[in-house]
């Protein structure tokens, strides 16, 4: 074969593709908000500093204002920057902004099943059911709070075994939130050295690494034609998700054998009962695939998020001994050394409440939020966003807003306290996002964070290995999610 001929054809095809993609961009641009001028094929990718994505978006907001269009390759994304515009979109026009985009990964592996990636009627049914179940409707006698309290005690026992020696708590802090999801979904927690549990943790860890890689995230936004040439294909990811699905399916089968629909004990029981109730309803989305993928979602969304926040928060406490002293004082006054902390203690513990809020604000775990998509052609401000436009409702600029939080770069619990030391709410507290599609696990996550921190600090004094002032987070930020490097610390029994 004539190699020349081949490459001429390829070149020609490339040029045609280029012209077409430019033309398509021009077409779409007409109605979208202005933004930096995109290059053919790569769009505005050169304007994105992969070491600090949120900062790149903030720089662009300085030039183009709170709403602008950014091209990931040929894919336009409308970026929302700041509290007012976020609220206008996700709350005031919430119904229009409620979909998730069909990203490459979702097409390939998730296939629109489960609660995170689904849309329309399927999402509505799964979301409503999951919210109800997580709010304790029909989960039997053991409340979700009791499950979290049980886990908090096990966590403390495990930390006690470190005998006050320097310890990297990453593994232990990863176990606890994962076990809470196990307890909610499967009824019981696992022992931290159970083989099944360790396997599950391994899968989750891999899953997180694969999902969070910057390349995977970029891959998501490449047009199909280019994905073929991309260095990493998320093969590892689909294998990983298949293994997670298999793990959950095994548990579902056990539940099916023992199911007593009148006496559901956990999420899977509730779902299987719902499936039976709805078996004659052709519109029902309650099938096994949606159950399994929702299970995968709860692990995927509820484990790493919470454990990273826990770990980051403990480092913040280490770095700020004056904060730890005040927390200890409040715990001793309100709970004392022996009683198991409960969520009703929170209203009597404004300082701890403020600390946990300030941790989440400062940590800025998901600076870019999860992407959304408009459900229909949407009139928004002076623009028309065509149906299917991808939206980035950024969280970082709201959490780091200096008008709401003086010195937003400082960790300071006073951001959430008034002059009398009472807890002060802020509508800028958006780590879980806002509106109808905000985090499904917000209630559970906030309960975990409060009970885990309070139980740990009731039992231990945290001590830094080395100078606490040397702990800094400068290089731990900037990705699609913010996580600190591993640190050792000592847990001294009180
Ligand atoms: C510190 C912990 C957590 C943080 C910071 C967090 C944050 C978020 C954010 C920002 C979103 C995107 C919301 C949006 O699109 O507007 C989200 C979605 C979600 N989160 Fe969380 N989350 C946390 C813990 C959890 C937990 C413990 C669970 C499990 C029960 C969970 C389950 C979910 C689910 C299922 C979604 C998708 C909701 C939907 O598409 O309807 N999250 N989370
Ligand atoms: C937060 O805001 C401060 C000042 O307003 C700015 O210096 C800093 O770079 C911002 N941080 C992030 C992570 O955006």
113 CA from centroid of ligand 2 (Å): 37
CA-to-CA separations, 474 to 392, 470, 478, 487, in angstroms, rounded: 24, 11, 9, 14
Q: Which residue has the higher pLDDT, 376 or 9?
A: 376
Tokens of residue 396, six digits:
């970082």
Length in residues, the chain: 494
Q: Is the pLDDT of residue 158 over 70?
A: yes
Lowest mean pLDDT among 65-69, 136-140, 311-315, 378-382: 136-140
Task: Among 134, 395, 441, 480, name the best residue to mutate to test ligand 1's pocket (greatest count of ligand atoms within 8 A of Cβ).
Answer: 441
Average pLDDT on 310-317 reads 96
pLDDT category of residue 14 using cuts at 50, 70 and 90: low
Atom index in ligand 1 nearest the CA of residue 444 equals 27
Atom of ligand 1 nearest to the CA of 118: 40
* Ligand 1 pocket: which of 182, 432, 433 to mutate (most atoms within 8 A of CB): 432
A 10 A CB-CB count for 336 gives 9
> 43 phi and psi, to 5 degrees?
60, -125
Q: What confidence score (pLDDT) does residue 23 get?
A: 59
Q: Which two tokens stand for residue 304?
A: 């790493």
Would you state the structure tokens that stand for residue 487, as one six-digit string? Answer: 């640190």
- What the block records as the tokens of 388 is 């299917």
Strands 390-393 and 460-464: unpaired
Dihedral-angle region of residue 145 (phi above 0 means left; psi in -120 to 50 means alpha; beta otherwise): alpha
Ligand 1 atom nearest to 371, measured from its CA: 15
Residue of 138 and 275 predicted with greater confidence? 275
Q: 442-459 and 304-319 are packed helices; what angle lies between their axes, rounded to 10 degrees?
A: 40
Burial class of residue 267 in the structure, from the number of CB atoms within 10 Å of its CB (0-12 exposed, 13-18 middle, 19+ buried): buried
Given a cut of 80, is residue 104 above it in pLDDT? no
Tokens at 378, concatenated = 């949407």
Tens digit of each residue's pLDDT (9 = 90 or more) over 208-254? 877 777 667 666 666 555 665 655 566 677 788 889 999 999 999 99
Structure tokens at 198: 């360790």
- Cα(274)–Cα(287) distance, rounded to whole angstroms? 10
Q: Check pLDDT > 70 for residue 3.
A: no
Write out the two tokens for 92.
Answer: 């005031």
User: Looking at per-residue confidence, does 200 or 474 come out higher?
Assistant: 200
Percent of the chain residues past pLDDT 70, beyond the cut = 87
For the Cβ of 402 lying below 6 angstroms from any atom of ligand 2, the answer is yes
Question: What's the whole-number average pLDDT of the chain?
Answer: 90
């Amino acid at each position: 074969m004539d190699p020349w001929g081949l490459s001429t054809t390829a070149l020609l095809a490339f040029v045609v593709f280029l012209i077409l993609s430019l033309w398509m961009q021009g077409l779409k641009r007409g109605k979208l908000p202005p933004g930096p001028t995109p290059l053919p094929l790569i769009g505005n990718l050169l304007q994105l500093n992969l070491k600090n994505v949120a900062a790149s978006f903030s720089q662009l907001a300085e030039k183009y204002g709170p709403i602008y269009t950014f091209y990931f390759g040929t894919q336009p994304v409308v970026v929302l920057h700041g509290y007012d515009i976020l609220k206008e979109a996700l709350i005031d026009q919430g119904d229009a902004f409620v979909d998730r985009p069909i990203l490459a990964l979702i097409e390939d592996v998730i296939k629109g099943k489960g609660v995170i990636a689904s849309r329309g009627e399927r999402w509505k049914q799964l979301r409503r059911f999951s919210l109800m179940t997580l709010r304790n409707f029909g989960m039997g006698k053991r409340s979700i709070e009791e499950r979290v309290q049980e886990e908090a005690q096990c966590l403390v026992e495990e930390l006690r075994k470190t005998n006050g020696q320097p310890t990297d708590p990453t593994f232990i802090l990863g176990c606890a939130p994962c076990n809470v999801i196990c307890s909610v979904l499967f009824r019981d927690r696992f022992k931290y050295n159970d083989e099944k549990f360790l396997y599950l943790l391994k899968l989750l860890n891999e899953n997180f690494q694969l999902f969070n890689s910057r390349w995977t995230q970029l891959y998501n936004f490449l047009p199909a034609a280019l994905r073929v040439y991309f260095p990493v294909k998320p093969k590892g990811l689909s294998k990983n998700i298949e293994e997670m699905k298999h793990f959950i399916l095994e548990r579902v089968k056990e539940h099916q054998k023992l199911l007593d629909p009148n006496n559901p004990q956990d999420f899977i029981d509730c779902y299987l009962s719902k499936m039976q109730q709805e078996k004659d309803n052709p519109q029902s989305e309650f099938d096994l695939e949606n159950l399994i993928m929702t299970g995968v979602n709860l692990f995927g969304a509820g484990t790493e998020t919470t454990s990273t926040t826990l770990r980051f928060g403990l480092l913040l406490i280490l770095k700020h001994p004056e904060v730890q002293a005040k927390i200890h004082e409040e715990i001793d006054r309100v709970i004392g050394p022996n009683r198991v902390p409960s969520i009703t203690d929170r209203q009597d513990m404004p300082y701890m409440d403020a600390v946990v809020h300030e941790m989440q604000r400062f940590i800025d775990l998901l600076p870019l939020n999860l992407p959304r998509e408009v459900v229909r052609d949407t009139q928004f401000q002076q623009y028309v966003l065509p149906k299917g436009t991808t939206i980035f409702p950024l969280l970082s600029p709201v959490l780091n807003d200096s008008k709401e939080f003086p010195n937003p770069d400082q960790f300071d619990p006073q951001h959430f306290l008034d002059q009398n030391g009472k807890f002060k709410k802020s509508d800028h507290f958006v780590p879980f996002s806002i509106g109808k599609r905000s985090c499904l696990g917000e209630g559970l996550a906030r309960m975990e964070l409060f009970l885990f921190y309070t139980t740990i600090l009731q039992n231990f004094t945290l001590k830094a290995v080395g100078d606490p002032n040397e702990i800094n987070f400068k290089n731990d930020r900037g990705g699609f999610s913010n996580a600190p490097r591993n640190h050792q610390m000592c847990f001294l029994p009180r």
